[in-house]
Amino acid sequence: MNNDVVIIGQGPAGLTAAIYASRARLKTLVVGNFNPPSQAAITGDIENYPGFPEAIGGFDLMEKLKKQAGKFSAEFKTSDAVNIKETESEGKKAWQVELMGESVTTLSVIIATGASPRKLGVSGEDKLRGKGVSYCAVCDGALFKEKHVAVIGGGDTAVEEALFLAKFAKKVTLIHRKDRLRATKILQERALANKKIDFMWNSIVNEILGERVVKALKLKNLKDKKESEFPCDGAFIFVGYTPNTDFLKGLLKTDREGYVIADDNMKTSKMGIFVCGDARKKLLRQIVTACGDGATAAFSARLYVEELKGIAYK
């Protein structure tokens, strides 16, 4: 049987879209894989999501959203989407979403695949991944109890994760290519006041050194151009994200980095395909904006499907 909407992605954007789509009584299927989990699910404490003055754990919030979507009868399937193709169903324009080993047909699609941590792209990074190189403090932080770790990056993620790591590590050195942080002011204040965190400014990592585990970083100071070796036990890399949109294979209009371009109603360049959350080209990537996008995408999908079926409220 046809789906009215297939939502690809189980982060805050996808799950909010699922809540709204299933409450609109669209036949809703959410597909996604928890490997890797959504960025929100691996965030420690979320303290800027409205309604939780004491903060809420990322995993907890995701569990609540999933439960809420299931309550309104959204269905879930654990699988990656690998392609989307145009098709026809009962004389109507439809989409075929290819999953791992099967495919599903749907009148509309909501892309909510989010983004994944960007790599630094330096020698030693791949070889030492899981051996001191990490992209997730919540997942790996406890392994660095009483150790000295480096955090690379100057945005919200780097600073938030440096603060998290400081709970376990003996010392955290935040290495940033500029002489001040990009992160939100309140996070900056906390990091600057944290006695376990120090800063290495105007510096980039050129290589990660170590045979079996991380031993040191080869750094370059961008001001005096001098190179140095910086001993440490771990390198946590938080230098931004890349959108999980490769599977679209050029189907939709994107920007140079691969973020899907949509209008205010989350409509993409193809009729019947909508986008929400971190995979969308936009100014602010937060859980709260992902949820807002998700609600709008589901509402737009509903209008589209009802028009297609000839049951739109006029």
Q: In sequence order, what DSSP letters do the residues of the chain get, joined into one string? A: --EEEEEE--SHHHHHHHHHHHHTT--EEEEE-SSSPPTGGG-SEE-SSTT-TT-EEHHHHHHHHHHHHHHTT-EEEE--EEEEEEEEETTEEEEEEEESS-EEEEEEEEE---EEEPP---BTTTTTBTTTEES-HHHHGGGGTT-EEEEE--SHHHHHHHHHHTTT-SEEEEE-SSSS--S-HHHHHHHHH-TTEEEE-SEEEEEEE-SSS--EEEEEETTT--EEEEE-SEEEE---EEES-GGGTT-S-B-TT-PBP--TT-B-SSTTEEE-GGGB--S---HHHHHHHHHHHHHHHHHHHHHHHT----
Q: Judge whether 140 counts as a catalytic residue.
A: yes
Q: Is 163 in the site for ligand NAP (CB under 6 A)?
A: no
Question: With CB under 6 A as the contact rule, which of the stretches 97-105, 126-134, 155-163, 292-300 interacts with ligand NAP?
Answer: 155-163
Amino acid letter, 118 = R
Q: Is 112 in the site for ligand NAP (CB under 6 A)?
A: no
Q: Is 220 in the site for ligand NAP (CB under 6 A)?
A: no
Q: Is 153 in the site for ligand NAP (CB under 6 A)?
A: yes
Residues 6+ positions from 120 with CB-CB distance below 8 Å: 152, 205, 237, 239
User: How near is the Cβ of 172 to ligand NAP at its closest, in Å?
Assistant: 16
Q: Is the Cβ of residue 157 or residue 245 nearer to ligand NAP in the bound state?
A: 157
Q: Judge whether 136 counts as a catalytic residue.
A: yes
Q: Is the Cβ of residue 82 or residue 204 nearer to ligand NAP in the bound state?
A: 204
Choose which of 156, 210, 251, 275 interacts with ligand NAP (CB under 6 A): 156
How many angstroms separate the CA atoms of 287 and 39, rounded?
9
Q: Using CB under 6 A as the criterion, what x/- string covers residues 42-81 for binding ligand NAP?
A: ------x---------------------------------
Q: Tell me how far the alpha carbon of residue 229 is from its chain's centroid.
A: 32
Choose which of 25, 178, 249, 309 interacts with ligand NAP (CB under 6 A): 178
Q: Which of 139, 198, 255, 263 is catalytic?
A: 139
Q: Is the Cβ of residue 177 or residue 196 nearer to ligand NAP in the bound state?
A: 177
Q: State in Å, rounded, how far the first CA of the chain is from the last one.
A: 27
Report how many residues bind ligand NAP under the rule CB under 6 A. 21
Q: Is 160 in the site for ligand NAP (CB under 6 A)?
A: yes
Q: Which of 45, 60, 80, 136 is catalytic?
A: 136
Amino acid letter, 73 = S
* Residue in the block written with tokens 């992902």: 290
User: How near is the Cβ of 92 to ligand NAP at its closest, in Å?
Assistant: 38
Q: Which of residues 224-243 bind ligand NAP (CB under 6 A)?
A: 238-241
Choose which of 58, 124, 141, 154 interacts with ligand NAP (CB under 6 A): 154
Q: Is 138 in the site for ligand NAP (CB under 6 A)?
A: no
Q: Is 182 in the site for ligand NAP (CB under 6 A)?
A: yes
Q: Which of 4, 140, 233, 293 is catalytic?
A: 140
Choose which of 55, 204, 261, 303 interacts with ligand NAP (CB under 6 A): 204
As annotated, the active-site residues are 136, 139-140
Residues that bind ligand NAP (CB under 6 A): 48, 120, 152-158, 160, 177-178, 182, 204, 238-241, 284-286
